[in-house]
Chains A and B, each alone.
Chain A
Amino acid sequence: MRLLFSGILIFGVITGFFHSKTAAAASCCGGGFATPALIVGDERGTLSVDVSYADIATEVSSSGFWQNRSSPESIETFRLHGAHIFLDRFQAGVSASFINRSRQNQSSAGLGDVALNVGYETLPEWDYSRWRPRGVSYMTLNLPLGRSIQDATEPFQLDARGRGFWSVALGTALTKVRGPIDIFVTVEARRSFVREVKTKDFTGQLRPGYGALASFGVGFNHQLTRLGGSVSLNYEDPIETRGSISSTGSVTRFVTAALSLSQMLNDEWTLSVSYSDQTLFGAPQNTSLARTLMVTTQHRIGR
């Protein structure tokens, strides 16, 4: 039963991660940071496929004013991610996305950013403890393979599918199961690196800064079914530009709330449906807000 719980718990963490990091930034400025693939349970390896549909509902200016979109834009994402244990407590993973953006009868599809991550089980669960969580710390490298909004050339900049920056993130995912209840907390700090740009409109440097993510989720498990919810807070430093155009940028922040329903089909397969909304909580700033529906299928490899 514990193995089953840990398997379903993975979906809570994955859902919280995916919805918090990819949905919002994808709407306006290409892609969000690629989500790391993590093993937080007792598996030896995992392979997952996510299919999501996001609808861009609202835009929030740098001053915090909301404006609804009258011209809808949708983002369909197909994501493949997998992770595998090595040396008992170490793990490595990769996550890649294929993104299709549509607006006003026009669309553009292509590869998004790719994430490579390594993790280490810093808090293993060798014996029972009422309060001590299980923890996995990780480091993620974001490869900017998706075209950034600065390089986008198609109408409505629909070919922007990536963040455009190399970045490194350090984070920790803590999980705890108590009876039918599971809880997870994730914290992450990231740093994006300076990039030289030469386009028709701008020649110079894009200077991003630091970013942070904090997620909290709770799930209720009944036999092979899990109902969970999560809230994620996301922050990014301003992107400063230097060169032919100088601007100081503005911070980006948003809160993503997600609800998920997961069903373990057997020991190896799990199916999950989740919904997230970025218009419900917090004081978003300098971002687009999306509502996303995602279906995830995961295959687990036992130890």
Chain B
Amino acid sequence: MTIQQFRFQMSAFLGAICFVLFLTTSCAKPQYLERTNEAILETSKKEVCFSGGSASSLCISLSWDTMPTETEFGRFIFMLKGQDGVLRDPGNEPDGSAGAPQVELPKVVLWMPSMGHGSSPVAVERISKGLYLARDVFFSMKGDWEIRFQLAGNQVVHAITL
């Protein structure tokens, strides 16, 4: 064996050692998050209130009717209440007369803040005074999401982790 061959074999051996060290120290150590629907429902019970503007006296709380899955849309009911706890519609209330102003429906936007994108559009329907149904709720991937309620130029956020 020549000196050059010896040096080459030593270099290859050291390189292999470094590689094995790299493998053993750099292996991923996944921390899996196991969340149940109950845990998600618990985080959704918190009431959030608009601050400022014409909606400043309104607060929102939501209740899941159907939790969304990876393959199916979900739906939830949310309530708009005044600070006195009474259900209210934003803006003028309809009195049934012709030409009466329509209730401004709150807009619901699903947003993933860590990645800067949303998800499928959410449809909102009015059930009764201060009571609304949000359907076609779908989160395109797991992680931390925000359910944003937008009304009269203001918005409040329900944070949710899937």
Contact = CB atoms under 8 A, between A and B. Distances in A.
Interface string A176-207: 00110100000000000000000111100010
Contacts, number: 112
Interface in A7-54: 28-29
A38 to B, nearest CB: 25
A286 B26 contact: no
Interface string A155-185: 1110000000000000000000011010000
Contacts of B12: 181
Contact of B115 (A69, A70, A286): A286
B70 A67 contact: no
A255 B30 CA distance: 13
B33 A67 contact: yes
B111 interface: yes
Given A104-B71, A245-B111, A284-B28, A29 B117 contact: yes
Contact of B116 (A150, A281, A282): A150
Interface residues of B, number: 39
B116 A239 contact: yes
Interface of A: 28-29, 58-59, 61-71, 104, 149-150, 155-157, 178-179, 181, 199-202, 206, 218, 231, 238-241, 244-245, 247-250, 252, 255, 279-284, 286, 288
Contacts of A280: 27-28
Contact of A201 (B8, B121, B161): B121
Contacts of A279: 28, 30
18 contacts: A62-B144, A66-B30, A67-B33, A104-B71, A157-B119, A200-B121, A201-B109, A201-B118, A202-B109, A202-B118, A245-B148, A247-B116, A249-B116, A250-B114, A279-B30, A280-B27, A280-B28, A286-B143
B144 A66 contact: no
B143 A59 contact: yes
Given A231-B22, A241-B116, A255-B26, 10 more contacts: A59-B143, A104-B70, A104-B71, A157-B140, A247-B114, A255-B28, A281-B27, A281-B28, A284-B28, A286-B115
B28 A248 contact: no
B114 A65 contact: no
A128 to B, nearest CB: 13
A91 B22 CA distance: 35
The CB with the most chain A CB atoms within 10 A, among B15, B26, B114, B121, is that of B114
B41 interface: no
